Amino acid sequence: MKLINTAKLLFVIAFLSSNTFGQTPIKRVLVEESTGTWCASCGYGQIYFDYLEINYPNTIPVAIHTGPGGQDPMAILSVELYMTSYFSGSPTFLFDRKNFPNNPSTKPAISASNTWEHGLDTLDSYMDLIYNQAPLATVGINQSYNASTREITVTVTSNFIQNTTGNFRLNCFILEDEVTGGSEYNQANSNFSGWTGGPSYLQALINESNPIVGYTHNHVLRAMLGNPEGMTASIPTTVTSGSNYSKTFTYILPSGYDESNISLVGLVQRYGADAVNDREVVNANSEHLNIGAANISEIDQNFIDISVYPNPVTEYSSIEFKIKNSDNISCELIGSNGQVMKSLFNDFFTQGEYKLDFNITSLDNGMYFLKFNNSESTIIKKIIVQK
């Protein structure tokens, strides 16, 4: 494979250098759904969450089960009572608990059930208003798990990247996937009666029985460790760029919960007296629970998680990387012969997630490497250019 010539190299590096990683932290949207096993239309919510994974990957879905009369074994009464300020029924969805301009009187617990054939378009119209917004802060998660006692310890860290004012709080959610059980876990299903054929995303429900026996529930909220409103973490009402704050939460995982299916969600929330207008999620982050010594060791060694997509790259691509601990980090572009082609950056990064969109049209086809270093370790990520 040929190395790129000097002119091409200068173009690519100039592009990368003009888009400093530290200037583009990732914003993740928290999508909370009111759902229930008793709710005949709520199977739609899981379909929508699957849709988000493909079309809006920087989202964190949370299924909040409600259970009038104790009908849902996954309902949490204290959370259900609090969330009545937000949810108007089921299935409905919240996006960062924001109050959108075209729905000023209440928090928009947005429903797609009216009309179903336009459901995804309705939800997308709200998501698109906030999906690419720059966040006020990044969110970091440090975790440990004692398999003997089943105690989870989570430290959620907020790294503010803008000057701002407000009452900010930290929180941690516990989620579980692949939840199933006896008949009380079966999902009611309306079959969307009257449809002889419907949108493709509803067809799976149209073809199912009522109830759906053996239904598997995902993204199930098991606990809000900071309560729905979050917990104070000595964050002042006037926050300056570059300031960091953290809060540690502990939780004993009940014996009936599968530790291999647990995820942790860290949040920075804005809190105010008015539940509709003064409270929202600033940013969020999520990680799977690390349950084994081997996993913990691997996390300790890998100071950074890197993903490049698409890879192979045809024209445009993105690098996302998650800094696990604040540190000085450098990145070099390496050719297939192992020689350093260019130092891309060498800066101090706070814990959090960062993203860079970049154009590789001036690179020749072949293999390249990004070499990341901190004070102790090296991580190398391969990139294939295939135009």
pLDDT digits (tens, 9 = 90+) for 203-248: 777 778 889 999 999 999 999 999 888 998 889 999 999 899 999 9
Tell me what the pLDDT averaged over the chain comes to.
Answer: 78
What band does 370 get if pLDDT is binned at 50, 70 and 90? confident
pLDDT above 60 for 78? yes
**Between residues 200 and 209, the one the model is more confident about:** 209
DSSP-based helix, strand, coil % in the chain, nearest 5: 20, 40, 40
Contact 198, 116 (CB under 8 A): yes
Higher pLDDT, 273 or 137: 137
State residue 82's pLDDT score. 83
Are residues 385 and 336 in contact, defined by beta-carbon separation less than 8 angstroms? no
Cα(176)–Cα(260) distance, rounded to whole angstroms? 9
Tens digit of each residue's pLDDT (9 = 90 or more) over 276-301: 678 899 999 998 888 753 333 333 34
- Per-residue confidence at 251, pLDDT binned at 50, 70, 90? very high
pLDDT of residue 366: 76
Cα–Cα distance measured from residue 184 to residue 186, given in angstroms and rounded to the nearest whole number:
6
Tokens standing for residue 269: 């929330």
Which pLDDT band, with edges at 50, 70 and 90, does 13 fall under? very low
CA torsion sign for 359, 360, 361, 362 is positive
- The Cα–Cα gap between 170 and 168 comes to 7
pLDDT band of 120, cuts 50, 70, 90: low
Q: For residues 370 and 382, what is the distance between their CA atoms, to the nearest angstrom?
A: 7
Supply the pLDDT for residue 301: 45
Q: pLDDT-derived band of residue 6, with 50, 70 and 90 as boundaries?
A: very low
Does residue 26 register a pLDDT over 60? yes
β partners of residue 321: 306, 354
**Nearest CA to 160 among 375, 350, 374?**
350
What is the rounded average pLDDT of the residues 342-355?
80
Please check the confidence at residue 143 and state whether its pLDDT lies above 70.
yes
Sign of CA pseudo-dihedral 112, 113, 118, 119: positive
Could you tell me the pLDDT band of residue 70, with boundaries at 50, 70 and 90? Answer: low
Confidence of residue 152 (pLDDT cuts 50, 70, 90): very high
pLDDT at 151 over 60: yes
pLDDT: which is higher, 275 or 22: 275
- Domains assigned to the chain: 6-24+303-385 (2.60.40.1930), 29-296 (2.60.40.10)
The single-letter code of the amino acid at 74 is M
Taking 60 as the threshold, does the pLDDT of residue 109 lie above it? no
Of 167, 213, 212, 216, the closest CA to residue 191 belongs to 212
> Encoding tokens for residue 4?
């790129």
pLDDT band at 99 (very low <50, low <70, confident <90, very high): confident
pLDDT of residue 324: 80
Distance, CA of 224 to CA of 229 (rounded, Å): 9
Mean predicted confidence (pLDDT) in 22-37? 83
